[in-house]
Structure 1
Amino acid sequence: MSYPEKFQGIAVVEREDWLNPKKVSYDPKTFGEQDIDIEIMACGVCGSDTHTAASRWGPCPNSQVVGHEIIGKVVKIGSKCEDGLKIGQRVGVGAQVFSCLECQRCKNNNEQYCTNFVTTYTGIYPNGYIAQGGYASHIRVHEHFVIPIPDEIPTELAAPLMCGGATVFTPLLRNGCGPNKKVGIIGIGGIGHMGILLAKAMGAEVYAFSRGENKRADAMDLGADHYYATGTEGWDKDLFNTLDLAVICASSLTDINLDQYIKIMKIGGSIQSISVPDVTEKLTLRPFQLVGITIGNSLIGTPQDIKTMLDIVVKNNVKIWIEKVPVGEKGVHEAWSRLEKGDVRYRFVLTDFEKEFGSEK
C-alpha cells in the first residue's frame, strides 16, 4: 500500500452480490488545509452499512466502502488545523464528515441538520467526490468531525459509540433523560442495548421493550429496571401515563404500534425515533392520540454530543456488548450475513486492520 496516494478498503463492487464485498484501492478526496488523515484500527458494523450495501435506501454507489463507527490514529494533519490534534493520537469518526460550519444550525450544535451535510460514506462533497467509509486502511476527514477518544475506553468498545451510541444518546440528552425521569427504550438490539446502558448511566429509571421474552435477561443485565414483552396481550395495561421519554431503536417501524406507546406517555412526554427503515415503510397512528404528546425523529449526534457521551461513558464505566470480527472480505461477509439474521449480541466490531491493510509505520 502506498500512503497517502491510495487508500484500501472492503467495498461493495457488485450491488447484486453485496454480501460478498471485495478489497479495492481508491483515491481519497483531495487533502484540505483543515483535514486529518486517520489510520483505522477498528470499525463498528452498523445496520446502516447493510441497508446501504443492499441498496435499500437507493442504489449503492459503485465500489462503495461503508462504515461510520471508526477508531484510529492520526497520521497527517492539515496546515490550518486548529483543534490541537496530534500525530499518533487515538481518535474517532462517526456518521458525518463535513458541513458548512457557518450556518445557524452548525453554530448551534446541529451540524447533522446542515444543508451541506456530508455523510461518512455515500455522501457527496461540494467537489463531487463520493465519501468512502471506515472498512478501510485510512479515512480523510475535516478536523471538526474528528473526536479525541479518552484513554479509559478500549478501542473496540469505543467504535460503536461513534454512530450507534451517539444516535441513541442525542435524543436522550436533548429530551431530558436523567434522575427522576422514566425512559423507555423500544427495541433491544445493537443500538437499543446501548440506549439502556446510557439512559441508566444518565440516572433514569429505564423501561425496556421488546417483542418477546427472549431478551428479558439481557435487558436486566444491561441495567433496565423494567421489561415488557410487547407481543404479549395487554402488556401496556398498567403503564398508562408512565413514561417521560421513549426512544424507538427498532430497525423497522412496521411492527411498532404507536397508538399503544402514546397511551403510556405522560402529558408533555416525547417519543423520539432513531429508526431509518426501508424507504417503503410508513407510520400509522391516530392523529387525535397525539394531543399533549410530541413525536419526532432524531438524526445521529454532533461532535459535541459525542464528547459529552464519552464523558458519561468514562464516568460510569459503561461497557457495550460486542463481538469482534477480523476485517477483510471474509470477515465483512460473515458480519453482514449474521447481522441480516439478527445473530449478534449486540454489535459487531471489525478489527485487525493493520494485518489486513498493513501500516505506513
Structure 2
Amino acid sequence: MVEGKINEIHSWAAMKPGLAVEPYTYKPRPVGEHDVEIKIKYNGICGSDIHAIKNDWGNSTYPIVTGHEIVGKVITVGEKVMKFKEGDLVGVGGHIHSCLRNDCNACSRDLDPHCSECMFVYGSKYPDGQPTCGGFADAIRVEDNYVHKIPESLDPVYVPPLMCAGLTVFTPMLRKGVKKGDRVGVVGIGGLGHLAIQFASALGAEVVAFSHSSNKREQSLELGASKFVDTSNKDEADTVRRTLNYLFVTSSGESNQYNEYISWMDFEGQIVLLALPKGSMTFHPGEFIQSEVSISGSLIGGTKYADKTLEFAAKHNIHPMIERFPLSKINEALEYVDSGKPRYRVVLESD
C-alpha cells in the first residue's frame, strides 16, 4: 500500500431524503496498488445526483456523497499505476470499477457498465463493505482504469459534464455507427441534448433538433443543428416524417410520445433512449413491422468510450454550456438544478 496525502476527506453528504446536503468528513480507504488519489477542483451536478439525494429511485443509503462529473489533479498513485503521475489533470465519471476480463460477457464487448462486478462512484460498496463516495468533496481515490487524462486543449472547467452527459450521448453514436451524411434527430435540448447536437454535427451528420419550445431554435442552430422542429407545431413535425436514420431521446417526456417518434424515422431507423420516459410505452406490433424501426437504450459508456469522448471533444472543440457555483454554495446550486433553470449544466468549483 502507498500512504495517501489526505487522511480525511471533507465532503457534502445528504443525511436523509430531500435536497439538502451538509458537511461530512470520512476516512478514505487505503490507497491500493492500482489507485489514484485526486484533489478535486471541479464537479458537475447531474440530474442523477438529485434523484439519489432525494431517493427518487428508492435505493439510496444515507449518508450519501454524490457527484460523478469530477475533474482534479493527481496527488498520489499506487505502486502499480503506470498511466498517471503526480500533477496530471484527470477526470472521473460515474463508473469506477468493472472486472475488465476478456471472458466477461459485458467487458469483452466494451459494455463494462453492465459487468456483474460494476461499481459506481456512489451508491455501491467495496468488497469490504465500505460505501463508495462521490465527488462533492475535496478529494477522491479511484482505480486507475477509471481515471482519464484530460487533453491539454480542453479548459478543465468545461470537462465535468463531458464525463457524464457527453459520454452518455457520444457512446451510442459510436456504437450505432453514426457517420457523415446520416440524418440524426435529438429530442430535448438540455444538458444532454445540447451536447448531442455538437457531437452528431462533428461526426458529419445532418442534425435535427426537437423541442416543445421554439425559444431554443436559434441556440440549437448555433450549436450545429441544420434544422429545428417545434414539436408543438404539427406542421413543423410533419416536415420530418420518414426522414431520420437515428433519433436520440435525451429528455424523459411522456411515454405516449414514442408513437410520434416512430413516424419521424426512415425505414430501419433507430431510436435510442438516453432518458427514462414517464409511465409505460404501448405499441402495436404492426408499427414495427411496417416501419422496420427499432428502439433501444444506452447506459453511460465504459472506460474506453470515456477516453474517446474526451479526445473527440478536444479535436472538435466541443464543450458544454455551463453556469458556475462555488462548492460552498452547493445547496443553492442543487436547488437551481432541481428547478430546471440552468442553461445547460452547473459546475461546482472548489473554494
Q: Say whether the fold is shared (TM-score over 0.5).
A: yes
Letter in 2 for 1:153: L
Distance 2:314 2:113 in 1: 25
AA at the equivalent of 1:305: Y
Counterpart of 2:9 in structure 1 is 7
Alignment coverage as a number of residue pairs: 344
TM-superposed deviation, 1:277: 5.9
Show CA shifts across 1:210-257 (max 9, x none).
Answer: 11212112111211111111122344322222111111100x242661
Taking a change above 3 Å as real, the CA distance of residues 67 and 277 of structure 1, as seen in their structure-2 partners, is farther
1:315 corresponds to 2:319: no
3-state DSSP class of the match of 1:236?
helix
| C-alpha separation in 1, matches of 2:37 and 2:339 | 35
Unaligned 5+ runs, structure 1: 356-361
Q: Distance in 1 between matches of 2:222 and 2:303?
A: 29
Aligned residue type for 1:99? S
**Could you say what the CA RMSD is over the residues aligned between the two structures, in angstroms?**
1.6
Provide TM-score, normalisation by structure 1: 0.91
Tell me the equivalent position of 1:262. 262
Distance across 2 between alignment mates of 1:108 and 1:60: 30
Cα deviation 1:189-208 (Å, max 9, x = unaligned): 11111111111111111010
Distance 1:257 1:234, change over 3 A: farther
**Aligned partners of 1:70, 1:284: CA distance in 2, in Å?**
38
Which amino acid letter does the alignment assign opposite residue 206 of structure 1? Answer: V
| Equivalent position SS for 2:140 | strand
8 Å CA contact retained: 1:184, 1:245: yes
Cα contact 1:259–1:286 (8 A) shared by 2: no
Contact 1:185 1:249 in 2 (8 A): yes
Match of 2:60 in 1: 60
In the aligned structure 1, how far is the partner of 2:276 from the partner of 2:123? 16
- Separation in structure 2 between the aligned mates of residue 113 and residue 28 of structure 1, nearest angstrom: 26
Aligned to 1:229: 230
- Higher mean C-alpha deviation, range 129-138 or range 268-277: 268-277
Please tell me whether residue 348 in structure 1 is matched to residue 351 in structure 2.
Answer: no
- Paired position in structure 2 for 1:190: 191
- Decide which of 268, 284, 287 is 1:286's aligned counterpart: 284
* Partners of 2:255 and 2:280 within 8 A in 1: no
Name the counterpart of 1:206.
207
Match of 1:41 in 2: 41
Once the two structures are TM-superposed, the CA of residue 59 in structure 1 deviates from its matched residue by 4.2
**1:94 and 2:96 equivalent?**
no
Amino acid at match of 2:318: V
1:66 offset after TM fit, Å?
A: 0.6
Runs of at least 5 residues in structure 2 that lack an aligned partner in the other structure: none
Asked whether the equivalents of residues 11 and 136 of structure 2 are also in contact (C-alpha less than 8 Å), the reply is yes
Give distance in 1, aligned partners of 2:219 and 2:256.
21
- Conservation of the 8 A alpha-carbon contact between 1:45 and 1:350: yes
8 Å contact from structure 1 (residues 236, 260) kept in 2: no
Q: Distance in 2 between matches of 1:174 and 1:209?
A: 22
1:176 Cα offset (Å): 1.8
SS in 1 for 2:237: coil
TM (norm. structure 2) is: 0.94
Percent identity over paired residues: 35
2-structure distance, mates of 1:217, 1:29: 49
